[in-house]
Structure 1
């Protein structure tokens, strides 16, 4: 399994940042690589992502939602992954830290994905947090 981490400061309170991150179905609005997110009921969602020239679909379930500190999930099928956002107040607003662990079982595909994954996840994370911050400042 590979783990990718990314942190960034969002200029808003943890409560406001968490409220937007908690709206999982809106993540498609926050990143160019996330094509769609379908609510499946309860805390389950189907993500449709286009990355490294391929379309990926996987179902995830939110496993922890502790406002305004933690939002965690794990995949139910497709690309095996689990991740966690941790939010911590800082003088400038909120330090948002993402930790994402994933596993791709096909070794050839894993080699290609692993090479692209760190910059790709960093890009997606930056896009999400920048767009969350922009939305917070619109309100």
Structure 2
């Protein structure tokens, strides 16, 4: 599996950041690459993503939810992936680290995705964290 990591520091407590990140279905509001996320019940979600000119659909299950430090998931259908957000209190607020692993079995598509994956995941993660920060500013 290929791995992509992204991190940022948000000026809020880990609890405040976690409370927004655990609302997975809201991620579609946070990134222009995520077209929709449907809650399927029991911590399962169907993601619809449009990236590198391709529509991607995958189902994920939240596998670990430890407020306020960890939110993890893995795919159960579609693009094979697993990831986790790790949140840590720092003097400036909360350091948020995203670790995403994925595997694409089609070799031609995998090559194109590997070139684009790091900047795409970085873009999506930056958008999500930026919009989480905006929502936090609006709440407090």
Aligned length: 139
1:76 aligned partner = 76
- 1:61 pairs with 2:90: no
Q: Which residue of 1 aligns with 2:128?
A: 128
Q: Distance in 1 between matches of 2:107 and 2:56?
A: 17
- Output the TM-score relative to the length of structure 1: 0.99
User: Which ranges of 4 or more aligned residues in structure 1 deviate by more than 4 Å?
Assistant: none
Distance 2:57 2:115 in 1: 20
Aligned with 1:58: secondary structure? Answer: strand
Structure 1 segment 82-93 matched on structure 2, within 5 A: 82-93=82-93
**Cα distance in structure 2, aligned partners of 1:42 and 1:70:** 18
In structure 2, how many angstroms separate the alpha carbons of the residues matched to 1:106 and 1:30?
A: 29
Question: Secondary structure at 1:77's aligned position in 2?
Answer: strand
> In the alignment, which residue of structure 2 is the partner of 1:103?
103
1:38 corresponds in structure 2 to 38
In structure 2, list runs of 5 or more residues that go unmatched.
Answer: none
What is the root-mean-square deviation in Å for CA atoms of aligned residues? 0.4
Q: Residues 53-103 of structure 1, C-alpha deviation per residue, up to 9 Å, x if partnerless?
A: 000000000000000000000000100000000000001100000000000
